[in-house]
Amino acid sequence: GVTEGGVASGGARSLGIDLGRHYGRIGWRGPGGELVTAGPVRLSSPGGRTTDPSGLAGDLRRLSELASEAGADAGGGRGRVAVSLEASGKGELPLRRAAEAAGLSVAHAVPEPVAAALHYGAVAEGAERTVLVCDQGAGALDLTVLAVSGDRTVRVLDTVSHPVGGNAWDAAVARAVLPGADETAAEQLAVARELREALGDRESAAVEHDGPGAGAILHRTDFEEVTAPLRRQAEQAVAAVLGSAAERPGGTVSAVLAAGGLFATPGLARELEERIGLYVRCGEPELAVVDGLVLLESFGVLRVLTGRQAATVPPRRPTASRRPDPEPRPARRPDPEPPTAAERNGTGAVPRQRPEPDAESPASPRASEPVPPPRPEPV
């Protein structure tokens, strides 16, 4: 289908709601223009937005309340929100109904990878590029190829999912540090996740409270060993998608955009970059989708093509006044540090700047003067 967005009207400040497979996060602009977020919170509806509309309405209401408690102002009345869709763009109608039941008004609904591309400034007037969005969250690694045209049209060309998300990593950690534990039990996975996030770039981490997993220790060498097969699977999946994209005319990917909380793992993006030989942009990946959604409020016209239309509508050709720009701008910050305790527990403020459109190229050279006809020779 086609999703078209425009500049928000009425002066009200909208919220961005990122709904993943297992976790949701809400964001908005603070008084100084900085991005403020609340979450992540675990969604009550397994599998996310399309399986349980009533549960989804409750999740949306809970996220909206978190924003209100943190001082967000959506303009009063029915809160205006921009929400994320799955990469295929499906599920928009039930999502809008759930939002209405939660007292919210959907101003924009865009696929998650498109929102991530906005976060990195990969969609701009005059820019022609093909990028791969790697979204590795709790449930899966979602790989989506986007073709961006200079008129701010984004085509979702291909998307695939692989079950090598954070939950798979946590199950591997649970097997290593909690012998005899049920690696599928929520409590054990929670302990493993706590250890994985606490490890960061340190050599070891321990559970320092009573309860399940008390005293468990995760050493870096063990962590690297048990997650190595999952890393290799992810790298092979990325390489396969890049190879398929290169077979299309003009489909060669110029950069990889990292999204999802797992990419906040120190060194993960750099390791992937070395394996695939392609630049991986990784700046606040856990906030990529929600930040892109918040940017929609003032982004202007955005056209998204999915499904059959994405495959049949030809890409816009560059003109003399709009230069091709195949490489996204360099990240404004290096690979981020692991999320702070405040961010994991609920809220945090992250300064961001809106991407600026590419500058127009110099005007075309003036046409040459006409050549006069030759004089007749004298008789």
Q: Is the dihedral of CA 43, 44, 49, 53 positive or negative?
A: negative
With both helix axes pointing from N to C terminus, report the angle between 268-276 and 220-246 in degrees, rounded to the nearest 10.
40
Q: Would the pLDDT of 145 be above 80?
A: yes
Q: Would the pLDDT of 323 be above 60?
A: no
Q: With cut-offs at 50, 70 and 90, classify the pLDDT of residue 362.
A: very low
Contact 288, 333 (CB under 8 A): no
Q: Would the pLDDT of 1 be above 80?
A: no
Residue intervals in the chain for CATH 3.30.420.40: 2-165+227-350
Mean pLDDT of 140-165: 96
With both helix axes pointing from N to C terminus, report the angle between 186-199 and 220-246 in degrees, rounded to the nearest 10.
90
pLDDT digits (tens, 9 = 90+) for 32-48: 889 999 999 999 865 55
| Element spanning 105, H or E | strand 104-111
For domain 2-165+227-350, give the fold.
Nucleotidyltransferase; domain 5 (3.30.420)
Ordered alpha helix ranges (H), 80-219: 92-101, 112-119, 166-177, 186-199
Q: What is the pTM of this model?
A: 0.79
